[in-house]
Structures are given as structure tokens and as C-alpha cells.
Amino acid sequence: MLSYLIRRILLALFTCWAISVLAFVIIQLPPGDFVDAYISNLSASGSGISLDQAQQLRAEYALDEPIWVQYARWMRLILRGDLGMAMEWQRPVTEVIGDRLWLTMVVSIAAVVLTWLVALPIGIYSAVRPYSPLDYLFTLLGFLGLAVPSFLLGLLVLYFGFVYFNANIGGLFSPQYADAPWTGAKLLDLLRHLPVPAVILGIASMAQAIRIMRANLLDELRKPYVVTARAKGLSEWRAIWKYPVRVALNPFASTIGYTLPYVVSGSIIVSLVLGLPTVGPLLLRSLIAQDMFLAGAIVLLLGIMTVIGTLLSDLLLMWIDPRIRVDD
């Protein structure tokens, strides 16, 4: 058990390192660098800089050095807790990201929690009453949820919210709170705004989770221990709830592992559509500007948070499944 834990944590550390390399490489992939992008940006607005100035800029950010040297410098900075300067903004990356990273996680986790809250009861119902009218209805809705891209859904919701309710549904805060410091009222405002993006973001994984839960539970319902429970004198629902649902939750718990990354990456586009103050819009902009410190930091931080989420879901699985606990 302990050795499993250690193995699992080492694996998580290795994954984080792999993400940092990958993040760095992918950001370097497009031709040119920040200075090229900067120059073309400047010339588009009519001004320009000399070759000398460009060279000076490159030296400042060490862009003229070989890629592994650049990576090593970046890593050294990061290990010291310094994410570097956002070149385009001329401010430290941490400052530019600010609350956005946490808000990304809040939105993503809200989407995952909502996914569970909705998918579990529906999945259970569908398995216990398979091929019932409601099961068919949920299946249909589920396929719709899977098939409609979340950004499209976001646009639709915005449109209908605006046309029929004259309400602006986007964002995570009301205007008066957007730049206000954190207070209880601001938190409340956040909670009020959270459901819409959480639903839009979660709908696809919700549909998937319903299918998974339904299939798991259908398998478990056929197992003899369900008969045992009924033969003891437990009522049908209590027997189902205590035993097969509990067993079917195990493989389901491990789905957080891939739901979270899926939701986080989905949140980037949805945030853009809904105007959420998450890292999504920032990441897109930094990629266009080839602002490697900012983009690298965002990709790395998102990656690390997903690795932590996956690790937690594995620990959860270990905690709820005695078969894994003992076998090691």
C-alpha cells in the first residue's frame, strides 16, 4: 500500500516533468519567436524596430541560445517559484495570471462535480430500469450532449439568454465585482454565475459519465451478491444503493482521472465564448504572441493541476476499493 503510494507519487512527478518538456517544445514549434511576432505586430501598426534592437530583445530573453539552454534557464526559474516575465505584458507571469488559474480550476471542478451530481442518479436509474421510456429519453439527451460542441452550446445559451431573458449570462462576476477585492459578496456572486458555465462545460462528460455508470451498474446488478442482499430482507432500492451502486462507483471514480483534463482543456474555448476570466483567453493570446513564458507557465500549471487531480482520484479509488488496498 505504501509502496503503491510512493510509486504513484513518483509517477506523478515524472509526468509533471514530461509536461514541462512538452509544453516548452510545443511552444517553440511554430516558426519564429516572440521577437518576430513582436516585430510583425509593430509593423502591422505602422512602426518598426531595427535589427539591433531585435537582437537586443532576443538577448534579453535568451532567445538566441540553443533550445535546451533556454529550457534549463526556464526550469531553474520555475523551481525557484518564479514563472518569469510575460514578455508582451512586461509584467511578471504570476501577476498576469492572477486569479485566473484558480478560477479555471473552480470552473472545471464545478463542471466535474456537476457531472457527477447529474450523471450518477441518471445512470443508476437507467441501469435499474433499462429500456424504460425515461432510459431512452436520457440516452437521447446524452447523445445530443455528446454531439453538440460545448462552444456552440455556449453561444446558444448566450443568445437565448439575451433574446428571451435580456440577461447577459456570460462571465463569472457581475460588473461591479469584476475587479473588486475578494469579499463574501464577491464569492456569492461567483457561485451565482458558476452554474451556467459548469453545465455547458460539463455536458459532454456528463453524457459520457451516464453511459459509464449505466454500463457498470448493469454488470453489477446481475451479480449474485445483489440476490444475497435481497434475500436478507433489504428493500430493492436499499439493496441496490448499498451494494451494486457502491461497487459500480469504483471504476467510475477512476474516470475523474480523464474527465478533469478533458474539462480543463474544454474550458479554454468555452471561456473564450462566455467571456470567463480564466486562463483560457490568456493562453490563446499568449500563443498568438509567442509569449513563451506566459504560455509555458499556463500549460505547465494546468498540466500539474490535472496531474494532482488524477493522483487524488487514484487515492480516492484506493481508499474506496478494498481489493486494491489489500492486493498490494
Partner 1 sequence: MGDRVMGDGVIGDEGGGAVRAPLLSVRDLKTYFFQDDGMVKAVDGASFDVFAGKTLGIVGESGCGKSVTARSIMRIVDRPGRIVGGRILLRSAKGTGSNEIDLAQLNADGAQMRAINGGEIGLIFQEPMTSFSPVHTVGNQIVEAIRLHRAMGKQAARDRAIELLRLVGVPRPEGRVDEYAHQLSGGLRQRAMIAMALAADPKLLIADEPTTALDVTTQSQILNLLVDLQERNGMAIVLITHDLGVIAEMADDVVVMYLGRVVEEGPVDDIFHAPKHPYTRALLRSIPSVDSPPRRKLPTISGSIPHPYNRPPGCPFHTRCPDVMPGLCNVVEPPLVPVALGQMAACFLYPEVRAATAAPEPAAGGGRTPAPLLPTAVGRR
What residues contact residue 123 under an 8 Å CB cut-off, 6+ apart?
A: 209, 210, 211, 212, 213, 214, 216, 217
H helices of 166-278, in order, are 175-178, 184-193, 195-221, 224-232, 236-242, 244-253, 256-274
Closest approach of partner 1 to the CB of residue 327, in Å: 9
Selected from 30, 32, 98, 322, the binder of partner 1 by CB under 8 A is 322
**Near partner 1 by CB under 8 A, which window of 9-17, 39-47, 68-76, 239-247?**
239-247
Q: Using CB under 8 A, pick the residue from 234, 308, 315, 318 that binds partner 1.
A: 234
Strand partners, 92: 85
**For the chain, how far is it from start to end, CA to CA, in angstroms?**
5
Distance CA 163, CA 115 (A): 27
Least distance (Å) from partner 1 to the CB of residue 205?
25
Among residues 1 and 72, whose Cβ is nearest to partner 1? 1
String marking each residue 192-231 x if it binds partner 1 according to CB under 8 A: -------------------------------xxx-xxxxx
- Inter-residue contact 302 to 104 (CB < 8 Å): yes
Q: Which is nearer to partner 1, 126 or 205 (CB)?
A: 126
- φ/ψ (deg, to 5) at 214: -60, -45
- Quick one: 14 or 225, whose CB is closer to partner 1? 225
Q: Which stretch binds partner 1 (CB under 8 A): 58-66, 242-250, 253-261, 278-286?
A: 242-250
Nearer to partner 1, 192 or 242 (CB): 242
Give the shortest CB-247-to-partner 1 separation in angstroms: 6
User: Would you say 215 or 234 has its CB closer to partner 1?
Assistant: 234
Nearest CA among 78, 106, 69 for reference residue 19: 78
* Residue 133 binding partner 1, by CB under 8 A: no
Binding mask 248-267 for partner 1 (x = CB under 8 A): --x-----------------
Please select the residue that binds partner 1; options are 88, 189, 314, 321, rule is CB under 8 A.
Answer: 321
C-alpha cell at 326: 489489500
**Interface region with partner 1, contact rule CB under 8 A, candidates 41-49, 77-85, 144-152, 244-252:** 244-252
C-alpha cell at 316: 480516492
Measured CA to CA, the distance from residue 137 to residue 279 in angstroms comes to: 36
- Greatest alpha-carbon span in the chain: 86
Say if residue 298 is exposed, middle or buried (CB neighbours under 10 Å; 0-12, 13-18, 19+). Answer: buried
Least separation in angstroms between CB 113 and partner 1: 23
Stretch that binds partner 1, among 171-179, 188-196, 234-242, 288-296 (CB under 8 A): 234-242
Residues contacting partner 1: total by CB under 8 A = 23
Q: Which of 61, 243, 252, 262 binds partner 1 (CB under 8 A)?
A: 243
Nearer to partner 1, 228 or 265 (CB): 228
**CA dihedral sign of residues 41, 42, 43, 46:** positive
Q: DSSP string of 127-162?
A: HHSTTSHHHHHHHHHHHHHHHS-HHHHHHHHHHHHH
Dist. CA 239–CA 235, nearest whole Å: 6
Taking the least distance from each CB to partner 1, the nearer of 130 and 281 is 130
- Under the rule (CB under 8 A), what is the footprint of partner 1? 223-225, 227-236, 242-243, 246-247, 250, 320-323, 326
